[in-house]
A and B are shown apart, each in its own frame.
Chain A
Amino acid sequence: MELLRDKAKSLLTGGAVQVVIGYAAGSATDRFRPHFARSADDADRLIFGEGCRQNLAVYLLKPEVRAMGKAAVVGGPTTLRTLLQYAVENQIADGLVVALALEDGRVEELTSFAAVEEYLAQRPHGLSDGDRAELEQHAARSQKDRWAYWSAELARCIRCYACRAACPLCYCEQCITENNQPQWVPVASDAFGNLEWNVVRAMHLAGRCVNCGSCAAACPENIRIDLLNQVLAQEAMTQFGAEAGYSVRKEYALSVFKPDDKETFIR
């Protein structure tokens, strides 16, 4: 922790950044909360641990945080991938955010997208064994079983939109659910409407999701929506070679057309 705190203090007191977005101790021993360090004293509260699940990049696009000035954000690989995906989607400019990559107690300061790209390229990337096993287990089920599973799980959704709020890639100023001309996604939390909402969100994230798991961590009903997003992320990878957040190359699988597209309907 000392390394992180010292790094944060030096960035703040040197004026390189005006805020370091990290984690501080939360309400209970196993709980952490996002923390906005703006002074050396604030920086003393920075900690990091297993339970730090909320992807802090989500705060980079908030007007209240943008208004503070240049920011540093603490996180692991998925937070770094978010920064690169933000770059692809023109949400943040190069050099305006400092990434503080944490790994085994070490802190690496990455001040440009290129630096983030390089950091990620030097490390193994792809799914963890646990994630891979889960996806394989899911894929091994029959379509009928998968439909039954997701219908039942999503029926429990209460449409609190915590998943959307926690997800750094859900940053639309007006979400599709907030449109009522027409009301694309019904408001009421009935089973069918819930299916619509969660599937629409998963589709909007396909090829963009960085697998940070903030959505599932946020869900008060403990629905495994991260799994749904991962299934589509795998599809995007398999079908288009698309993988979010490892490069700033502006090519989003679902919005790029090539004449040799394998889908014949589009020709």
Chain B
Amino acid sequence: MDPADILALPRATLEAEYLEDVSLRRLVLEHYDQEQIPLRRYLAFLGLDDDTARELVQESFLKLHEHLLAGGDRRNLRAWLYRVAHNLARNAQSVAHVSKTDPLPDVLSSKAASIEDELLERERLERLRNALGQLSAAQRECLALRAQGFKYREIADVLNISVSTVGENIQRGLERLKELV
């Protein structure tokens, strides 16, 4: 066998690995573009300040990259990402000794048709914000993930609780909000 052939064999393998690395990196960046803003909002909703939320979101995506490089499961990467971010947030909060009744973030009013509509919208969101502060952390988390479009099974996966508990938290949370708003 020609020596050049011997050297070419591992090179072909390496090129395949290289292309795989590039494709995984692209996959992570696609998820980053789609999810980093909603994920930061979710972490802010959990009570993290913007800088911490930003840092933890980046860390979550880096972990996603590691997960993919290690040949991890690629099914429902969105739920995987939220689970990692959620756990990182909880760890950060426990290290910082943040209380469970963190103030919810301020919100920007959406694009209303008139100043009057905008004021009404802002008032409505402010009432909702205060009402959310009256819920348990578990209820708030379930409702926040539901508002991000997750199914009950996925919420259970993210929060590591049962699907029936997710259903209960959502129902009780909404009933309480209905009373308060």
Do chains A and B interact in one complex? no
